[in-house]
Amino acid sequence: MHIASGFLSPPAWVTMAAVSGAALAGSLAAARRQLDDRKVPLMGVMGAFVFAAQMVNFPILSGFLTGLPIGTSGHLGGGFLLGVLLGPALGIVAMASVLVIQALVFQDGGVEALGANIFVMGVLPGLLGGAVRRLWLKPSWLSYTVTFTGAAAGVLAGATLVILLLKWSATLPQNVSLLHALGLMDSIHLLIGLVEGAITVAVVRFVREARREAVFGAALPASPVEIKV
């Protein structure tokens, strides 16, 4: 969902750069307090994982079922995943690093669109993911359901915002109605969002099991042994 170079007008990208810049500054300040010994390597490898996973485009159901354009793919966003596993602050820092490297080293996503891309794929889903993080202290079907739905909703919200930014930038052709553009973008991203939700639940479950202390650290009860009466 990376916005490429030349698609945002200066007012749009300056605004998004300011918003994401503020969010990133706040996240870095919070990160300083949250980074403990075990979180540092976890944040590093989760960022690397999201970069790698974003390279894996999967074909999505289209055409015959929905009337959507055939030959469309999607890939993991990962912002929600990072928000759940690292908390919103560290998640946003990790996602911003991924997006900056993609833009500067791989020329994926425009340089002036970085603020918008960081907001759409980092800040927005990162905050949503951070909001459901507590549910994973004791995983249950509720955690799975809310995480799946939330990750998909994050993709849809991001897709909607991208179209609104194009509209604001007058990049959408005059004869295309906003409703039509949103309908197309959101129906494709609903399908992508379902995959995002499934991958997010699976990865959160796995990492939460394998690296519980790194994921929850200070939020864990003092004694790891549950006292049963």
**Nearest-CA neighbor of 84 among 56, 52, 116, 46?**
46
Cα–Cα distance measured from residue 52 to residue 93, given in angstroms and rounded to the nearest whole number: 17
Q: Choose the stretch contacting other proteins; rule: CB under 8 A; options: 92-100, 123-131, 142-150, 221-229.
A: 92-100
Binder among 184, 205, 212, 217 for other proteins (CB under 8 A): 184
Q: Pick one of 23, 49, 152, 199: the residue that binds other proteins (CB under 8 A).
A: 49
Question: Rounded CA gap, 119 and 155, in Å?
Answer: 12
Contact 112, 97 (CB under 8 A): no
Comparing CA positions, the residue from 53, 54, 80 lying closest to residue 136 is: 80
Total residues binding other proteins (CB under 8 A) = 82
- 213 lies in the binding site for other proteins (CB under 8 A): yes
Does 10 sit near other proteins (CB under 8 A)?
yes
- For residue 120, the minimal CB distance to other proteins (Å) is 10
Identified binder of other proteins from the candidate list 19, 21, 35, 168, rule CB under 8 A = 35
72 binds other proteins per the rule CB under 8 A: yes
Candidates 38-46, 123-131, 137-145, 221-229; binding stretch for other proteins (CB under 8 A): 38-46
Do residues 154 and 124 lie in contact, with contact meaning Cβ atoms separated by under 8 Å?
A: yes
What is the smallest separation between the CB atom of 175 and other proteins, expressed in angstroms? 8
Distances 208 to 32, 45, 111, 156, 222 between C-alpha atoms, Å: 22, 14, 34, 25, 18
Query: Does residue 138 bind other proteins (CB under 8 A)?
Result: no
